[in-house]
């Protein structure tokens, strides 16, 4: 077992510890020394109480929270006699974020992650950001909160983590473009007719990455890449025309930065989220991580294709949202969540998800901007309402 590069125990709270990002985070922490190296002020989950309780015991977490108020008693009895404090519901989630910590892993899926992450930002914690919805929906507001909180923002999305690693801070003025790689997902080579008939089960089967259900389906539709484009715009202060997407089926190059002298710097690695998570945990050092080493002779070839925006209209929608600015990112995300739920529940075809999002964005293209977190929630709510009414009309 490697030891943590820090000399004293570091405090790491994990929002969404029962999810894919959360479990990978705990795996990395175990590898880097476990309880001898880390204290865990708070962990949160939602429906998977058994796992949440097991994780709380394993890490010696001080505070365990389920987002679902109806599961409070279940969590309380699962942790009876341990001395671990238990909470449930939205205000307990925010309290989990607000508990003093050195680093917070933001691994909740969806906009539910925004308020508890902002609570951690406000207390000055460094933020390892997997929850892209924070930046997609709250954009400048979230960045401003980071600036006033004083903590570091460390991207965990593998593409943004790659860019963070190769972006030369003193040469930001010389950055021409950033190039986000996309695996193309399971339907990369499907025709539109084939895509029209796919099921949630096939959409969730990502060829390279093992991830949660929603992000896997978002990868298949490239809505995940669309969110990442908006996330990149805010994280790295890029104009929309500086953000490119290239399909790279092997997912070995995690993303690239192009400079004004024609150089392109890339970060490479095996497709394993523990890279980006371990990088964020160890930052600014590099820790020994239990990930596969690249064997270039065996890899032999790396391929690249321009994405087909007729089959993957989500990319164009991201560009529209960035050009329109204001709260269109929140609207895109809120409408996408409703369309995605409908697809998962068999109420909407795969290709129709983009139609619902596009129409919702047009209907709510009213120039509104975010002055407060409430404005972000209002845009999210309105987008969900409009998207839901479009769905009812299409029944
Ligand atoms: N997975 C990846 O490899 C990956 C890569 C890059 C970025 N991301 C981003 O990281 C975030 C998490 O993704 P994931 O794949 O780890 O998702 P996931 O596997 O679905 O896990 C989501 C976590 O959030 C909890 N949760 C679900 N709904 C919630 C709600 N309404 N309120 C509070 N907590 C809730 C879940 O609890 P229960 O499971 O207990 O119900 C679980 O702990 C997403 O924003 C995703 O885009 C993920």
Interval between CA 130 and ligand 1 midpoint (Å): 9
Nearest CA-CA partner of 126 in 109, 110, 150, 145 = 150
CA angle (223 as vertex; 374, 136 as ends), nearest 5: 30
Backbone angles phi, psi at 72, to 5 degrees: -55, -50
- Residue 3: pLDDT over 70: no
CATH topology of domain 10-155: Rossmann fold (3.40.50)
Residues whose CB falls within 8 Å of the CB of residue 295, separated by 6 or more in sequence, listed in order: none
Q: Of all atoms in ligand 1, which is nearest to the CA of residue 214?
A: 20
CB of 336 within 8 A of CB of 313? no
| Mean pLDDT, residues 15-25 | 98
Q: b/e map of 341-352 (b: 16 or more CB within 10 Å)?
A: bbbbeeebebbb
DSSP 319: H
For residue range 27-58, what is the model confidence (pLDDT) as tens digits? Answer: 999 999 999 999 999 999 999 999 999 999 99
The verdict on the CB of residue 215 being under 6 Å from ligand 1 is yes
- Residue 5: pLDDT over 60: no
How far is 40 from 34, CA to CA, in rounded Å?
10
Q: Which tokens is 367 given?
A: 């120039």
Q: What is the DSSP string of 189-207?
A: T--HHHHHT--HHHHT--S
Helix (H, G, I), strand (E, B) or coil at 284: coil
- Residue 7: pLDDT over 80: no
For residue range 150-169, what is the model confidence (pLDDT) as tens digits? Answer: 999 999 999 999 999 999 88
pLDDT at 375: 97
Say yes or no: domain 160-270+294-393 is CATH 1.10.1740.10.
yes
For residue range 195-216, what is the model confidence (pLDDT) as tens digits? Answer: 999 999 999 998 888 788 899 9
How are beta strands 253-259 and 264-268 bridged, if at all? antiparallel
The verdict on the CB of residue 251 being under 6 Å from ligand 1 is no
CB of 206 within 8 A of CB of 218? no
Q: Please tell me the number of Cα atoms within 13 Å of 104 on its side-chain side.
A: 35
Binding residues for 1-deoxy-D-xylulose 5-phosphate: 132, 158-159, 183, 206, 219, 224-225, 228
For residue range 219-277, what is the model confidence (pLDDT) as tens digits? Answer: 999 999 999 999 999 999 999 999 999 999 999 999 999 999 999 999 999 999 999 99
Binding residues for Mn(2+): 157, 159, 228
- Residue 1: pLDDT over 50: no
CB of 120 within 8 A of CB of 13? yes
Q: CATH 1.10.1740.10: which residues of the chain?
A: 160-270+294-393
How far is 223 from 258, CA to CA, in rounded Å?
24
Q: CATH 3.40.50.720: which residues of the chain?
A: 10-155
The verdict on the CB of residue 97 being under 6 Å from ligand 1 is no
pLDDT at 2: 40
Interval between CA 49 and ligand 1 midpoint (Å): 15
Binding residues for NADPH: 18-21, 48, 131, 133, 212
Q: Which tokens is 194 given?
A: 């084939």
pLDDT at 259: 98
Interval between CA 386 and ligand 1 midpoint (Å): 25
pLDDT at 121: 98
The verdict on the CB of residue 228 being under 6 Å from ligand 1 is no
DSSP 159: H
Indicate the average pLDDT of the chain: 95
Q: Of all atoms in ligand 1, which is nearest to the CA of residue 213?
A: 20
Q: Which tokens is 101 given?
A: 């910590």
Backbone angles phi, psi at 266, to 5 degrees: -125, 155
């Amino acid at each position: 077992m490697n030891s943590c590069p820090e000399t004293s125990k570091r405090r790491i709270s994990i929002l969404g510890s029962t999810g894919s990002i959360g479990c990978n985070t705990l795996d990395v922490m175990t590898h880097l020394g476990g309880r001898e190296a880390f204290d865990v002020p708070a962990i949160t989950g939602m429906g998977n109480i058994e796992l949440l309780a097991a994780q709380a015991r394993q890490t010696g977490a001080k505070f365990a929270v389920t987002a679902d108020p109806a599961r409070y008693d279940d969590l309380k009895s699962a942790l009876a006699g341990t001395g671990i404090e238990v909470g449930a519901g939205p205000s307990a989630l925010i309290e989990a974020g607000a508990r003093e910590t050195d680093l917070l892993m933001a691994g909740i899926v969806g906009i539910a992650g925004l308020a508890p992450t902002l609570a951690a930002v406000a207390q000055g914690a460094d933020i390892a950001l997997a929850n892209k919805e924070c930046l997609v929906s709250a954009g400048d507001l979230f960045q401003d909160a980071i600036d006033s909180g004083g903590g570091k923002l460390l991207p965990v999305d593998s593409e943004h983590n790659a860019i963070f690693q190769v972006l030369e801070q003193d040469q930001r003025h010389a950055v021409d473009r950033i190039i986000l790689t996309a695996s193309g997902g399971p339907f990369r080579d499907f025709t539109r007719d084939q895509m029209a008939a796919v099921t949630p089960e096939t959409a969730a089967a990502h060829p390279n990455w093992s991830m949660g259900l929603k992000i896997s389906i978002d990868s298949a539709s490239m809505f995940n890449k669309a969110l990442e484009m908006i996330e990149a715009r805010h994280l790295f202060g890029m104009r929309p025309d500086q953000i490119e997407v290239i399909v790279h089926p092997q997912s070995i190059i995690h993303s690239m930065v192009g400079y004004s002298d024609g150089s392109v710097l890339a970060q490479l690695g095996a497709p394993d989220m523990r890279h980006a998570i371990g990088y964020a945990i160890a930052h600014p050092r590099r820790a020994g991580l239990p990930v596969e080493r690249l064997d270039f002779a065996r890899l032999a070839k790396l391929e690249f294709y321009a994405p087909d925006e007729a089959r993957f209209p989500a990319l164009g929608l991201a560009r529209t949202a960035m050009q329109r600015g204001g709260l269109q990112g929140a609207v895109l995300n809120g409408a996408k969540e409703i369309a995605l739920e409908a697809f998962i529940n068999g109420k909407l075809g795969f290709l129709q998800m983009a139609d619902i999002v596009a129409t919702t964005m047009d209907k709510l293209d009213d120039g509104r901007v975010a002055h407060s977190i409430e404005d972000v929630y209002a845009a999210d709510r309105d987008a969900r309402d409009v998207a839901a009414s479009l769905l009812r009309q299409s029944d």
